[in-house]
Amino acid sequence: MKCRYCKAPLEHTFLDLGFAPPSNAYLTEADLNKPEIYYPLKVKVCDSCWLVQTEDYAEADALFTPEYAYFSSTSASWLDHAKHYADQMIEKLNLNRKSFVIEVASNDGYLLKNFLHRGIPCLGIEPTRSTAAAAEKLGIPVLHEFFGKALGERLAIEGKQADLIIGNNVYAHVPDINDFTKGLKAVLKRGGTITLEFPHVMRLIEQAQFDTVYHEHFSYLSLYTVSRIFATAGLSIWKVEELSTHGGSLRVFGCHQEDSRETQPSVSAVLEEEAVHGLQQLQTYVTFQTRADKIKDDLLAFLVEQKRAGKTVAAYGAAAKGNTLLNYAGIKPDLLPFVCDAAKAKQGQYMPGSHIPILAPERLESAKPNVVLILPWNIAEEVMQQNAFVTEQGGKFLTAIPSVKVHECGFC
């Protein structure tokens, strides 16, 4: 296999998680009697451009059905993050009724509604029917398509170039990152701004976030590599912000290469930080597996210990990252009898691979487990606050990343 960006041969493995079902392929009760398809889950690193990327596997297309059940609006902290971002951009870019904003992967309209409320024309691009329908109900126009060079060029011809193009948590999910970036270039108005948010591979490595690896996630990105991909497409990055979302993300600000905007010191600062973290050294990548394995072993040992001691355990948050962790560790309902999740669409279903049932959060109140494993560790604080009764009734919270940790009170 060749690197998706620079086409150099991929010779080094970053992480091999064996085989796993798609992390968003939640199962119904009827599905439990059917065979389940497992795909290889292996991540390589390119030693020429340092793009960390999922290895290709057969029948990948079957994975990406447009019925993905995740609705962005279910996380309160993510909604706050979106509102704050929109207010900031409207002010800094002087956006008004004559401006045009495009969001790629606009989901249920969680972000664009903030622009709509301020009277700024916008367009969402979202192939997933259920989430796109939710956005349309809010009055946001949505194109039900995948974004790439062809769509970017078509919109440009239709006179729909944007002053601001937003891509939050989509860049890492794109199989053809060069084609996607060319699409951004095509649909960007002269003088316009692109902002992309994606998990920072530097934080993934630093905090051993191996559970954020799943099939739908094609790339794990650094500023260094994204700068190179942008340059190839005729774009440049003039500013970058480090965010705490998703365990540590980057928000990069792009513009046309010929734009006169000055590059801000934040760009060289993050590039320097990445170099210090060894992101351009092979050793940093090839030692990651051992660290992931230690977490898996520690978690398994902890759960077995609880079972032998007669303690009860449950999990909170039926997140994709939880499926990666549970499947890699081989955890089944005997060690973890149920997972609670606030998203009604997931309740009554089962986790792929592990077949652990997903129940409403109220179940934690009646079952009173001794330990609650928080799978989406990135919102652990929010979960502990919303479910403070767990500690009040004598239970403890547990997180597995960056290392297995029992939280003695609800706020540490």
- Residue 240 CB, nearest approach to Zn ion (Å): 21
- Residue 286 CB, nearest approach to Zn ion (Å): 16
- Residue 57 CB, nearest approach to Zn ion (Å): 19
**Residue placing its CB nearer to Zn ion in the complex, 6 or 60:** 6
Tokens of 8: 């150099």
Tokens of 235: 């774009």
**Residue placing its CB nearer to Zn ion in the complex, 222 or 306:** 222
- Residue 14 CB, nearest approach to Zn ion (Å): 13
**Residue placing its CB nearer to Zn ion in the complex, 153 or 176:** 176
Residue linked to tokens 């090839």? 286
**Residue placing its CB nearer to Zn ion in the complex, 3 or 164:** 3
Tell me how far CA of residue 405 lies from CA of 111, 308, 374, 411, in angstroms. 34, 19, 11, 13
- Residue 10 CB, nearest approach to Zn ion (Å): 8
How far apart (Å, rounded) are the C-alpha atoms in residues 391 and 333? 23
Positions touching Zn ion (CB under 5 A) are 3, 5-6, 8, 46, 48-49, 51
**Residue placing its CB nearer to Zn ion in the complex, 1 or 406:** 1
- Residue 1 CB, nearest approach to Zn ion (Å): 11
- Residue 332 CB, nearest approach to Zn ion (Å): 38
Phi, psi at residue 362, to the nearest 5°?
-55, -25
**Residue placing its CB nearer to Zn ion in the complex, 37 or 282:** 282
- Residue 412 CB, nearest approach to Zn ion (Å): 41
**Residue placing its CB nearer to Zn ion in the complex, 6 or 138:** 6
**Residue placing its CB nearer to Zn ion in the complex, 49 or 155:** 49
How far apart (Å, rounded) are the C-alpha atoms in residues 71 and 194? 23
- Residue 324 CB, nearest approach to Zn ion (Å): 24
Tokens of 373: 């494993």
**Residue placing its CB nearer to Zn ion in the complex, 49 or 398:** 49
**Residue placing its CB nearer to Zn ion in the complex, 52 or 162:** 52
Q: Which residues pair with 373 in a beta bridge?
A: 315, 398
- Residue 4 CB, nearest approach to Zn ion (Å): 8
Give the strand pairing for 313-316 and 339-340. parallel
